[in-house]
Amino acid sequence: MAVRKAVIPAAGLGTRCLPLTKALPKELLPIYNRPALEVIADEAVASGVDTLVLVTGRGKSAVEDHFDRSPYLESRLRNQPALSQSITRQTTMVNAVSVRQGEAKGLGHAVGCGEIAVGDESFAVMLPDDLIFGETPALRRLIEVHEATGKAVVLLMEVPWEQTRRYGVVDATPRDDGTFDIHAMVEKPSPEVAPSNLAIVGRYVFPSSIFKKIRNTGSGALGEIQLTDAMLSLAQEEGMIGVMLEGTRLDTGNPLGLLIAGMHYASQDPDVFAELKKAAEKLFS
């Protein structure tokens, strides 16, 4: 049940960030000084993952290039160890393979595309729009619960009721150890019909049986093959556990979210924080 692979859906068009994403993959937009996907890769590696399964599509080859060697740049940076390390670490810390999602048929479909690279083992799914900052890598906490129970595990976060229609929302009961038993879930419910205000955040650990569930899932909300629908069937048959978010979750799928995530990330460095604070005081006084 060890979890070594993380499927990262990265084929989306990034329409909420246009025109930034007209030619650039949204996964490579900057979080201060790093592409967003590299921050996700760091969390994966810190959680014990050794292989990223990038689910890409047309126009996303820069995502694959970012996790490839760059001999020309490397030779130019031979005498600059820090810069050189900043462009080689992506290939030394983790393996990356990519599969194509030929058509945008939904998150469930995207995860299903990863099957050919994952095979018959438990694996993680990380949504690159959800950046999570905290002391313990969020994915590691999920992997620990999966390794102890064998069940699917998802990250949960309490959201204001009026925001339930932005998320997959669960019906769950608390367990003694602070985790939750998930009985049901629904994708993007209005507050009137939401089973709770506990939303699914973009970190999941699944047994390989989720792939069969995805294959058996038809179009759901928005006419797409929804991961949430496949998860509902898995939860009912095999059980599913929810782990509450610890730390800060930031949505980088829109321009303001990107800016805030960049500032949050930059402010982890005390020197940068001091500069940022000075600049903000001047800008907003």
Taking the complex as a whole, how short is the minimal distance between the CB of residue 5 and ligand G1P, in angstroms?
20
Taking the complex as a whole, how short is the minimal distance between the CB of residue 126 and ligand G1P, in angstroms?
11
Going by the DSSP 8-state scheme, the letter that residue 214 receives in this structure is H
The 3-state DSSP class for residue 199 equals: strand
Tokens 């069937």 correspond to 233
Q: Quick check: 11 binds ligand G1P (CB under 6 A)? A: no
Q: Quick check: 43 binds ligand G1P (CB under 6 A)? A: no
Cα distances from 145 to residues 52, 151, 154, 206, 234, in angstroms, run 20, 8, 10, 11, 17
Q: Quick check: 123 binds ligand G1P (CB under 6 A)? A: no
Give which of 125, 118, 122, 115 is closest to 227, Cα–Cα: 125
Taking contact as CB under 6 A, which single stretch among the options 61-69, 133-141, 193-201, 271-279 is the one that binds ligand G1P? 193-201
> Which residues ranging from 47 to 86 are in contact with ligand G1P (CB under 6 A)?
none
Taking the complex as a whole, how short is the minimal distance between the CB of residue 50 and ligand G1P, in angstroms?
25
Q: Quick check: 167 binds ligand G1P (CB under 6 A)? A: yes
Among 152, 155, 182, 201, binds ligand G1P (CB under 6 A): 201
Taking contact as CB under 6 A, which single stretch among the options 19-27, 89-97, 136-144, 196-204 is the one that binds ligand G1P? 196-204
> Which residues ranging from 129 to 148 are in contact with ligand G1P (CB under 6 A)?
130
Closer residue to ligand G1P (CB): 117 or 221 = 221
> Which residues ranging from 205 to 244 are in contact with ligand G1P (CB under 6 A)?
227-228
Taking contact as CB under 6 A, which single stretch among the options 92-100, 194-202, 206-214, 233-241 is the one that binds ligand G1P? 194-202
Query: Which residues on adjacent β-strands are paired with residue 124?
Result: 6, 205
Give which of 8, 12, 231 is closest to 105, Cα–Cα: 12
Query: Which residues on adjacent β-strands are paired with residue 95?
Result: 51
Among 112, 202, 220, 262, binds ligand G1P (CB under 6 A): 202
Query: Which residues on adjacent β-strands are paired with residue 240?
Result: 152
Taking the complex as a whole, how short is the minimal distance between the CB of residue 164 and ligand G1P, in angstroms?
10
Taking the complex as a whole, how short is the minimal distance between the CB of residue 125 and ligand G1P, in angstroms?
10
Instruction: Give 133-196 as a DSSP string.
Output: ESSS-HHHHHHHHHHHH-SEEEEEEE--GGGGGGSEEEEEEE-TTS-EEEEEEEES--TTT-S-
- Count of alpha carbons within 13 angstroms of residue 50, beta-carbon side: 3
Polymer length of the chain: 285
Instruction: Give 87-123 as a DSSP string.
Output: HHHHHHS-EEEEEE--S---HHHHHHHTHHHH-SS-E
Q: Quick check: 127 binds ligand G1P (CB under 6 A)? A: yes
Closer residue to ligand G1P (CB): 90 or 232 = 232
Note the residues at the interface with ligand G1P (CB under 6 A): 107, 127, 130, 167-168, 187, 199-202, 227-228
